[in-house]
Amino acid sequence: MTGGPRFHGECDVAAMVYAPGDAPDPLLQAFVRGLLGLGYDAVGVVQQRAPARSGFDGSVDLRLIPDDDRRPDREPAAACGTALQGIGVRLIEALKRQPDLVALNRWGSQEAAGAGLTDVLAEAIERDIPVVIAVPEALFPDWLATTQGLAVRLQPRRESLERWWRSLGRPPSGAGAAPTFCERFK
């Protein structure tokens, strides 16, 4: 996908806008795991900062959900773009199976510049797959400019995510389930 995301009035994209003291990644991870437990096919990426040490070295763990039992893609901040490319390729591949939801860890400066996970966002919109993405308050004006206001703003709380999800009215896709006779011959 090239040219960036093409937001429109029918796309289901939600920005979970968070402040400096908020922790969006555990929230996204719990939300996705909750959907998986209900039979939805949900995928995403979250980041985890290395445990507190004497001085932050900029390293983050990028974890795919639900594949986070694999070794995380741990990269120093300077190499984060390289790690995101690999994660992006894996997420684009997952989008081919038409999951019920994609959760993206951040709308950051890379995405604002058209890099990072922008291709994943664009592909999900093109395939009509709902997306939830964490957006820092400081970058929300850039997000608004990019989306032209065609995305929902959520509070960084589980009940806000769940209320948005219920509003979409989507049943689980039953990924992996065999289609019924009627579904095959519609």
Parallel, antiparallel, or unpaired: how do β-strands 13-18 and 131-136 relate?
parallel
Q: What is the pLDDT of residue 8?
A: 78
CATH class of 13-50+58-170: alpha beta
Task: Name the residue with tokens 């985890």.
Answer: 48
* Residue 115 token pair: 């890099």
- Least confident piece of the model among 51-55, 80-84, 87-91: 51-55
For residue 184, the model assigns a pLDDT of 41
Summarised one tens digit per residue, pLDDT across range 31-61 is: 999 999 999 999 999 987 655 544 555 567 8
- CB neighbours of 160 closer than 8 A, spacing ≥ 6? 16, 154
Tokens 């995403």 correspond to 44
CA dihedral 34, 39, 44, 49 (to 10 degrees): 30
pLDDT at 6 over 90: no
CB 6 within 8 A of CB 126: yes
Please tell me the predicted confidence (pLDDT) of residue 58.
57
Q: Is the pLDDT assigned to residue 183 strictly greater than 70?
A: no
Domains of the chain, residue spans: 13-50+58-170
* Integer Cα distance of 165 and 126 in angstroms: 19
pLDDT at 179 over 70: no
For the entire predicted model, the pTM comes to: 0.80
Residue 13, pLDDT score: 92
Helix axes 80-95, 118-126, angle to 10 degrees: 10
Separation CA 134–CA 148 (nearest Å): 17
Confidence tier at 180 by pLDDT (50, 70, 90): very low
Q: CA triplet 24, 30, 32: central angle to 5 degrees?
A: 100
DSSP category for residue 105? S
pLDDT tens digits along 136-174: 999 999 999 888 888 999 999 999 999 999 999 998 886
Provide the CA 155 distance to its chain's centre, in angstroms.
15
